[in-house]
Structure 1
Amino acid sequence: MLKASSAVSPDVTDEDSQLFRQSIAGARPITQDKIPPVAALSKQKRRADVSANTLANDLFYFSDQYEGYIDQGGSHNYVQTGDDVHLSGRLKRGEFQPQVILDLHGMTSAEAKIELAGLLAYCEQKHLNCACVVHGKGLGILARKVPNWLIQHPNVRAFHTAPKSWGKNGALLLLLKIKA
């Protein structure tokens, strides 16, 4: 292995080099006076405060084996049997504004199922009738599972792919039953 030679420019003379050494003869290194950065706390996604019983009841409706919804292309839409058939069109046009938004980005399907059950319980508790579920596009795993889960829940009246302002193909707008 070759030893690294001193990096001296051909323009620097011995006299210049000697003069530089004399000028820094009394210098000492500067001590580190900077405070090292502290790692910022990560923003944890929090589930709405819902009792364990309600969550267990809502999870009861979600089966991974059930394939009730078949994707037929670009947009997802569903209207519960016996409800107004025009609801999905009204959701598509953005006539309903979501009162709460659930973001499922970065979650596993098990975590997403729990969060979705929590959202439905929260909407029931707070008497909210419209919600937005952002599942993202990614590999499409949640995009396939979320509609199947929603069809199984009795409080979901209708859903449709969200308008562009609420996430387009990566989100669903839900219309829920409000119990008095």
Structure 2
Amino acid sequence: MQKKVSVASTGISAEDSQLFRQSITGAQPIAQDKIPPVAPPRKKKRRTDVSSKQLDENLFWFSDEFEGYVADGANLSWVQSGDDPHLAGRLRRGEVQPAVVLDLHGMTTREAKIELAGLLAYCEKQQFNCACVVHGKGLGILAKKVPNWLIQHPNVRAFHTAPKSWGKHGALLLLLKTAA
């Protein structure tokens, strides 16, 4: 049994209510016709620009066991032997601006090593002489590994802790060799 609602309480006139009831006589509820959306299968990210052979060649220079660089303070600084010893100072003062920035935040050491190798190969291909590598502070794992990887690569001339505008103690500015 339906409950009758007072017309006065809803603010609708009796004539309008009667007209509405006549218009919906014989109406039936609509059956559910909604189909839940199906998420498309996710594609795995794949590097199409770097073959596995090329990746192996890029990673050739990096050894995890090699520890040739030991930080002696808050600032990291290194200049390849036989190069201008003032290069690190130029990087510290921000005289050379990086052409590309690589952010390693949240990466594992393996991912970071692959990305760093890719960055150095890209800089060599594009003839960039300066790059910024943001390793972050965090637990300091990448902060310790990145300098050791960099000093093994023949195209790295020098690196220094980045100026404040580029990340300070969580980043390094690299000076790279370019083909003359």
TM-score by length of 1: 0.73
Identity of aligned residues (%): 73
- Secondary structure of the structure 2 residue equivalent to 1:160: strand
Cα distance in 2 for residues equivalent to 1:72 and 1:45: 39
Deviations 1:2-41 (A, max 9, x none): xxxxxxxxxxxxxxxxxxxxx69xxxxxxxxxxxxxx9xx
Corresponding position of 2:95? 95
Cα distance in 2 for residues equivalent to 1:48 and 1:87: 35
Relative to 1, partners in 2 of residues 1:176 and 1:63: Cα closer, same or farther, differing over 3 Å?
A: same
Runs of 5+ in structure 1 lacking a partner? 1-22, 25-38
* Deviation of 1:58 (Å): 1.8
Corresponding position of 2:146? 146
In the TM superposition, what are the counterparts of 1:30-179 in structure 2 within 5 Å? Answer: 49-179=49-179
Aligned length: 145
Cα distance in 2 for residues equivalent to 1:78 and 1:48: 34
Cα distance in 1 for residues equivalent to 2:45 and 2:152: 25
Cα distance in 1 for residues equivalent to 2:169 and 2:129: 21
Cα distance in 2 for residues equivalent to 1:107 and 1:143: 12
- Secondary structure of the structure 1 residue equivalent to 2:151: helix
Cα distance in 2 for residues equivalent to 1:147 and 1:51: 26
Deviations 1:79-131 (A, max 9, x none): 00100000000000000000000000000000000000000000001000000
RMSD: 2.7
TM-score by length of 2: 0.73
Cα distance in 2 for residues equivalent to 1:170 and 1:116: 15
Is the Cα contact below 8 Å between 1:104 and 1:112 reproduced in 2? yes
Deviations 1:122-165 (A, max 9, x none): 00010000000000000000000000000000000000000000
